[in-house]
Amino acid sequence: MEDAYRGIAWIYDRLFEKLNLGLRLAGLRAFRPARGMNILEVGCGTGAFLSQYQRYGCGLYGVDLSPSMLAQAHARLGAAGRLLQGDAAHLPYARQQFDLATAMLCLHEMSPAARSAVMAEMKRVLKPNGRILLIDFQPGPYQPLQGWIARALIFLIEFNAGGEHFKNYRQFMPAGGLPGLAAQQALVIEKQYLLAGGAFAVLLARPGPPG
């Protein structure tokens, strides 16, 4: 499988680290971990989000399709990171293993079928009292002027990310973004933060009762 991030992994954090810092901090505010918790990040990329849980003494687990992004994550986390290359639609973990399963800025890249499969796997590996933390794009309403500018920048970045990537993004937004996905997956939203004038959402949720 082609590594879509091969040419950008080495510079990814330089481009997006500061832009994403506010999102990561909001995620940490939504779910403050306790020592010894197991944290799983789907689409862990360079490990920047996982690294903030390292100081809490958590078990750090990450899965990503990109070998080049995982190489950056290995360099960042060292032996503390238990990182695997693989498809998050088929997570190599037992049931009820994690206190928190999180996905940051990766669900919009997936096809609807893949997105549903990944969400099902995230729910499968959660402990009974576990939580799901999702950070991704929000399809408005946007606040002037910040939200409009953020929306335009996101569109340009996604447009230049490639045909399939852009196609999936274009499906994700009209479907309701993260709130739409949470409703589709029968998640009970416990906390929700909107950032950058409504362009991003941070959702902390738990699986609802079986339908």
pLDDT in tens, 80-103: 999 999 999 999 999 999 999 999
Distance of CA 140 to CAs 5, 151, 172, 193, Å? 28, 9, 13, 13
Distance of CA 80 to CAs 11, 33, 38, 160, Å? 22, 16, 12, 34
Mean pLDDT of the chain: 90
Contacts of 166-169 with C-beta under 8 Å, sequence gap 24+, read: 168/108, 168/109, 168/110, 168/111, 168/112, 169/108, 169/109, 169/137
pLDDT in tens, 17-49: 777 889 999 999 999 999 999 999 999 988 999
Cα separation, 94 vs 104, whole angstroms: 22
- pLDDT score, position 126: 97
Domains along the sequence of the chain with CATH: 9-207 (3.40.50.150)
Residue ranges of alpha helices (H) inside the chain are 9-30, 48-51, 67-77, 112-124, 146-159, 163-172, 177-184
- pLDDT score, position 93: 95
pTM of the model: 0.92
- pLDDT score, position 6: 67
Distance of CA 119 to CAs 48, 68, 92, 204, 206, Å? 21, 24, 14, 14, 12
pLDDT at 1 over 60: no
